[in-house]
Amino acid sequence: MNESSSFQTNLARRVRATLAARGHTQKDAADMLGISESTLSNKLTGKIRFNDAEIFSLSHWLGVPSDALLGLKPLEVA
C-alpha cells in the first residue's frame, strides 16, 4: 500500500468512525454532500478519493476539525 492509499484508507476510517459516533448513516452523509450512497461507499472503502471540499463539508457537518479527519491531530468523537 503506498502512502497516498494509506492516507485515504485512514481518512475513510476516521470518517466512518465519526459518522457512527454521531449517529449518522452513510445516506445522511451522502445527502449532505450531494452524492449518491454508492459514491460515498466507494469513498469510504478507498476506491475513490475524498476531495478537499468534501473533507471540509464533512468536518463542519460532523463537528470535528478537518485536521482530525485528516489525521493531523487526534480525533475525539465522544
Question: Would you say the C-alpha torsion 18, 15, 73, 67 has a positive or negative sign?
Answer: negative
How far from chain centre, in Å, is Cα 78?
Answer: 17
CA distance 74 to 34: 28
Q: Are 69 and 75 in contact (CB under 8 A)?
A: yes
pLDDT at res. 13: 92
At 26, is the pLDDT very low, low, confident or very high (cuts 50, 70, 90)? very high
Share of the chain above pLDDT 90, in %: 72
Average pLDDT over residues 21-47: 95
pLDDT at res. 3: 59
